[in-house]
Structure 1
């Protein structure tokens, strides 16, 4: 059962098999975010964003809903295919299912099973785990404007530099700021030296970052998503120019050898993809399923598994580690949404252009 046609009629639907639930029509776009609100209100606090930024964020959230729904639908089809009593050969299936199978293998590791369905419960569980994560993410976006445990900032200006005479008191290498968020009544000290982000840090570039469980004056802590000011300017500029995931979905890509058909490149400058990655880090949404940036070694260098090359290297190393990596999930969501092409090798291929030889080899091993 496809989400697109059913959701527009009924608004909510439970799907057979995995029983995934999509919570709103795919093309129903309401304003998700509002500007900064009072600290005591039950609403997500958004600050340092101008109106164009807010419009871009709203559109990114709306796009991400559609992307997650597409992911849920295609993973449900994959799960149903794998869960048949006698799994038919993949090359006899439709091109989109083949693409889903191959892309999932590239990002989450080999789908091991036999044609008689023996010994592949782990494969089914892995597909279901990712599908459930997408479902939880999708449901959270319907209430994003009513959360009192989550904040979004267009820039790290909520971190105010302390006067220099305060700095020398602290240990060498520390990086102290005042936490000046509207949800804090009094500025408290925060050390960003060992943290996961800071837009104004000279030696590291961050596009966005999540500060989990940050204290407030409220009854509980909040997760803070900061999109760095330079990235906000870029994302909003691209949004105003119509460079969105919706338009990308309609695009005809040039032959695969061209650099601008690489999945990393075509999806790297939009709000929806930033939200897909950073949203996967938000603990108040996912609790113990919260994703991290998993390190992986490529060509002798260890770094977080950002981008197609490192994400697929991580999948070859460990399926369990791949499940925990935020960029792996974001890349999958992008590939599932841009469904006019097969992205299983990291570049755009038309569905009828044939199966890459390395995947042909893995497909023929099924049942051996």
Structure 2
């Protein structure tokens, strides 16, 4: 049995090396300079909101967008076959404001319940060449949100990746876990974009031009996939040269988070199904990072239980957490999520277990509806 201990110890070293390499890679974003101020030349923009049964959120949140400090913009409100008062709320906004336009989507048999179909109709209604997307349950973090996002359309940039934060709820463990997962996702997609391999964005704070949308033939390549109107589009359309990052705190959007564990799991199951459709390299690297996390915990616990060279084991584990703390801590400060970074080791272990359970659940049955 003792012959097994060295093999286990060297396995831990190998797994930790891979995991640390990822966290050092994430330093690319963690130590990046602050996001630049918006360009002085601001194009007219179309703000697009696709909503399904969101009457209450629309009543509360659209006014924050109308109050944006921006010279010329319109709001396209898309009613995706809602069964509540969403249509009436949108109609009221359209009647009261000249720059608000309503698009009513009736379920189409070929695209039943498909958000991408509804978004496509809204995009076709947009008057301007630059479009910014936000969800109905989101509010801009500041009156300068549009200036920062639209001001990032410089040179040949056609896609702008923003940060979609979640509202902080004091004393809520699930809220901190959700925000930690959101932070980790942002660290990854911002880092890969910094490295010239942008692979996803979040639809609650995303911008791109009408030209690139039509150039890519919209969502046609993944129209049959219910989710992924944001990340799958970015995955297919983004390049090193055409993608800009915007993570100035005034450019954030703030969403209403799920308040129950089950609701959040349902949401994450839907999101994770899209990852299998990413480009091979990003899919491989994202999977490798997760596997290195999982094996680090499994092998680390096993080696500690044997007490084999425990001083060296603790040194290896300590080096790994030091690299991770730097990546997560500095990124959290940049994205105003410092409170979740303090409890990083706990949230990481919980999140690894949650992701494993979601992976197993999705193998058994896959979610089919976007809302």
**TM-score (ref. length: structure 2):** 0.27
Higher relative contact order (CA 8 A, sep 6+): 2
Structure with the higher fraction of residues in helix conformation: 2
